[in-house]
Structure 1
């Protein structure tokens, strides 16, 4: 049996606007971020008549605030789909981060990209195995989503805020198969 996963990135935040590393620290959605969420609600979910049987969000406010703009249904907050930790680099301007950041993060209190992908894979697989789950709307974060898609064997692009990766999950194999990446045009 196949089930659908709609994996969405949160809306623009103050740190996104300032081109800062966010990681597990939080900053609020901007007005543009709220507009992006409403655009995705209207032009991805409503235009395609997509209704999720289960909604989940990262435990970070920018993700749950985005989800609340997209749907009014109740949702669960899961630590397993939070953004990867950038340790001491959080809050820094992106241009100040060393080029080898993906391998150097653990020595600065951060998480490896591959570890974030495994964490996301484990969490989303468990969610999809729930017997009451049909289609799932999950709101997460840019690096965490890219890490997950990389763990699925894909070479994902950078996600615009409020973009959606639509995947099929095969219950027999446990594999996630990419159907589409819909990029929100409100950059």
Structure 2
């Protein structure tokens, strides 16, 4: 048991800071939307919170809103940020840049089917949630094995974090939208190997409310 605990790997999962599209309720997906000034301030607040924590490695999605978040978080640690395209948000295809209301009005039946069964429905010019599950599952397995016994921070996206948490807990990922995920929230999973995880913290944003 002591040997297992010594090799426990913690993933700090951070959703990127706010963007103008977040504020406007628009789906972003693979669209490379940068952080807003508020998003940068959010990232700095979490960077202050984590500045005394030992973090061994920093990874991010290759989209700029996630990468900039990771760079801000890594700065107090003088850490290098490594990009992982597998950590990209779901590709929303033709839905990117649209609001929930606009998607429902334009893609009525398909939209309803996707919300009910995102694992199996492919968004026009986009991807299904199952494709996100496949790439994220492989990436997490590789990271947990590569960083056994270490603490690793991943700056990524709401959909990706929901998927990683859902996989760790064995949830039906067709219901993944029922997992709330705020901008610049912190979620922590502790792994004793790639297939055994404990959720230690979820969607924590206390650093955004402290004075």
| CA pair 179-107 structure 1, distance change in 2 beyond 3 A | closer
Distance 1:150 1:131, change over 3 A: closer
TM-superposed CA distance for 1:182, in Å, is 4.1
- The 5 Å alignment of 1:62-101 reads 62-72=65-75, 73-97=79-103, 98-101=111-114
- In structure 2, list runs of 5 or more residues that go unmatched: 1-6, 104-110
Give the aligned partner of residue 184 of structure 1.
205
Closer, same or farther: CA 176–121 of 1 in aligned 2, 3 Å? farther
Matched with 1:145 is 161
State the 4+ residue runs in structure 1 displaced beyond 6 angstroms.
none
**Structure 1 regions of 5+ residues with no counterpart?**
none
Q: TM-score, normalised by structure 1?
A: 0.88
* Shift in CA distance, 137/107, structure 1 to aligned 2, threshold 3 Å: closer
| Whole-angstrom CA distance in 2 between matches of 1:107 and 1:69 | 33
Q: CA deviation at 1:176?
A: 2.6
d(CA) in 1 for partners of 2:188, 2:123:
34
Q: How does 1:106-185 map to 2 (within 5 A)?
A: 106-130=122-146, 134-152=150-168, 153-154=170-171, 157-171=179-193, 174-185=195-206
Of 24-33 and 147-156, the range deviating more from structure 2: 147-156
**2:48 paired with 1:55:** no
Which structure: larger Rg? 2
Query: Judging changes above 3 Å, is the alpha-carbon distance between structure 1 residues 121 and 70 closer, same or farther for their aligned structure 2 residues?
Result: same
Q: Which has the higher helix share?
A: 2
- The answer to whether the 8 A contact 2:94-2:123 is kept is no
Structure 1 pair 131–21 and aligned structure 2 pair: CA distance change class (3 A): closer
Aligned pairs, number: 183
